[in-house]
Amino acid sequence: MTSPDLLLALLADARLPVGGHTQSAGLEPAVVHGGLRAHDVPEFLRGRLATVVAVEAGTAVVTRHRVLHGDPLPPVVAAWAARTPSAALREVSRTLGRGYSRLAGRLWPHPVWATLERTPPRPVVLGALAAVAGLDAARLVRLCGHEDVATVAAAALKLDPLDPLEAAGWTVAAHPFVEELVERCAHLTDPDRIPAGSAPLVEQFSVLHARTKQRLFHA
């Protein structure tokens, strides 16, 4: 059995071949369409953790619970979709989910992978992977939170050249908000209790970004 901490390090590694390097976690569209600048990034990170990431973390935790108890997953997918109104964001999540599903099926063979959709949402795959590989709910939420923060920080270095130490500082400063997310989501078991915070600008920018021909990141 893989150590939970080593598993967490593996899944949070940006070198993992699942397409995460193609994403900016909404930063590029916020810069291009919303005029966001480097000094705005810490607030942007906090906003995502309270809304978009809370939906993903809650979805992942509830999926983990249902896989462990043998409960069906379609209600979780439906709850996630209802809380992700942007078709562009849903498509991105499913694209990433397909990559994670292939990785998980290769490294952790399990019957659950055959029950997922062909392109499952990423948080559903992460939740199933946590159940199969022995990752507890708190670590799973930390994974969702840290990965989003690290993705934004890495994208910022490509979009607006700055001192890499500043981006690292954003990541560390965001960790208390990730821990707040653990308290908010790690206990969830019911799809209806998944957070449903609104992030209308993130949704709007994602739609505009999907129509943009010249861009560094898919989303």
Mark out the alpha helices in 160-215 (DSSP H runs).
Answer: 164-185, 200-210
Q: Which of 35-39, 48-52, 145-149 has the lowest mean pLDDT?
A: 35-39
Q: Is 90 helix (H, G, I), strand (E, B) or coil?
A: helix
Query: In total, how many domains does the chain have?
Result: 1
Determine, yes or no, domain membership for 191. yes
57 close to 141: Cβ distance less than 8 angstroms = yes
**Which pair of tokens denotes residue 36?**
């966001």
**Which pair of tokens denotes residue 148?**
């989003």
pLDDT on residue 219: 64
Distance from the Cα of residue 188 to its chain's centroid: 17
Determine, yes or no, domain membership for 156. yes
The CATH number given to whatever domain includes residue 83 is 1.10.4190.10
pLDDT on residue 216: 66
pLDDT on residue 49: 95
Of 217, 215, 210, nearest in space to 91 by CA: 210
Q: Which residue has the higher pLDDT, 18 or 189?
A: 189
Determine, yes or no, domain membership for 146. yes
